[in-house]
Chain A
C-alpha cells in the first residue's frame, strides 16, 4: 500500500506570519486540499487534450456533425414548403 510522502514548501515571510497567527488551522490540510484541486484541474486538462488530439474522435465528430446538420436543413426546408 502506498504511504503518504512529505513535501517541503517555501512560503514568503508575510504568509508565514499569518500562518503563525492562526495555529488552530491545520495548514498541512489546507495545502493538501489546494494541491489536490490544482492536480485535478491539470489531469482534466490532460484528458481533454488527449481526446481532442485523437484523430478518431475528429473523424467521427466530422461525420456526425455534417450528417446531423444536413438532416436539420432538410427538416427546416420541409416545414417551409
Chain B
C-alpha cells in the first residue's frame, strides 16, 4: 500500500515524535511518500521550524533525519509531470497549496493521501484519509508493486 503524506502529518510527527502520527509512520506495511519539496523546506528553514516545534535545532535535525528513513520522496520532475492531471487541477480549486501532494499521489499511483486538512478530506473522500486503514482493507490489499488504479476516483 502506498500513501502520500502532507505537511500536516509531517508536522505532527516532527513536533510530537512519540505521538500517534509518528508511530503510524513506523508501520512497515505501508510505503510512505511525500513531495521532495517538503524536505527542501525542512532543510532551508530549519531554524524557524525548530523554534515553532519547540525544540533545539539539533533535536529537530535528528527528528528530520528519522523521518527521512521512513519517508520516500517524490522528485520534483515527477511532480511537475503529473501537475496537469485532472485530479491535481481539481485539488487546486479546493486549495492551491495542496496541489503538490495530489501530484505526488498521481505520480506514484498511491492508494491514499494522508492529511488532517478538513477541506481536502471533505472534497476527496476515498482518496484523502485521516487514518490509514490496515493493508487488508486497502484497495490493493497491501500490494506494493506498481499497478493501475481503477480510476473511479479521478
A contact set with B: CB distance below 8 Å: 44, 47-48, 50-52, 54, 56-69, 71-72, 75-76, 79
Interface of A is mostly: helix
Q: Do A68 and B7 have beta carbons less than 8 Å apart?
A: yes
Query: Do A47 and B19 touch across chains, with their CB atoms under 8 A apart?
Result: yes
- The digit string for B115-134, where 1 denotes a CB below 8 A from any CB of A, is 01000000000000011000
Q: Which residue in B49, B116, B130 is a CB contact (below 8 Å) of A64?
A: B49
Q: Nearest 3 CB-CB pairs, A to B?
A: A61-B11, A69-B97, A47-B20
B136 within 8 A of A: no
Taking the complex as formed, is B93 at the interface, i.e. its CB lies under 8 A from any CB of chain A?
A: no
Among B12, B45, B79, B103, which residue has its beta carbon within 8 angstroms of that of A63?
Answer: B45
> A69 near B16 (CB under 8 angstroms)?
no
B7-A64 in contact (CB<8A): yes
Judged by DSSP, the binding face of B is helix
- Shortest Cβ distance from residue A70 to the other chain B in the assembled complex, whole angstroms: 9
Known interface pairs A56-B52, A72-B100; A51-B12 also in contact (CB < 8 Å): yes
Q: How large is the interface on B (under 10, 10 to 19, 20 to 34, 35 or more residues)?
A: 35 or more
Selected A-B contacts with CB under 8 Å, 20 pairs: A51-B15, A51-B16, A54-B12, A54-B15, A54-B16, A56-B15, A56-B52, A60-B14, A61-B11, A61-B12, A63-B41, A63-B49, A64-B11, A64-B38, A65-B6, A67-B41, A68-B7, A69-B97, A72-B100, A76-B83
Inter-chain contact B11/A66, CB cutoff 8 Å: no
Whole-angstrom distance between the Cβ of B7 and the nearest chain A Cβ: 4
CA distance A72 to B8 in the complex (A): 17
Bound-state Cα–Cα, A75 to B52, Å: 27
Q: Please give the distance in Å from B64's CB to the nearest CB on chain A.
A: 11
> What B residues does A48 contact at CB under 8 A?
20-21, 130-131
In the complex the two chains form, what is the Cα distance from A67 to B35 in whole Å?
12
Residues from chain A with a CB closer than 8 A to the CB of B131 are 44, 48
Near A by CB (< 8 A), chain B positions 1-47 give 6-8, 10-12, 14-16, 19-21, 35, 37-38, 40-42, 44-45
| A69 CB, min distance to chain B CBs, angstroms | 4
A51 and B7 alpha carbons, distance in the complex (Å): 13
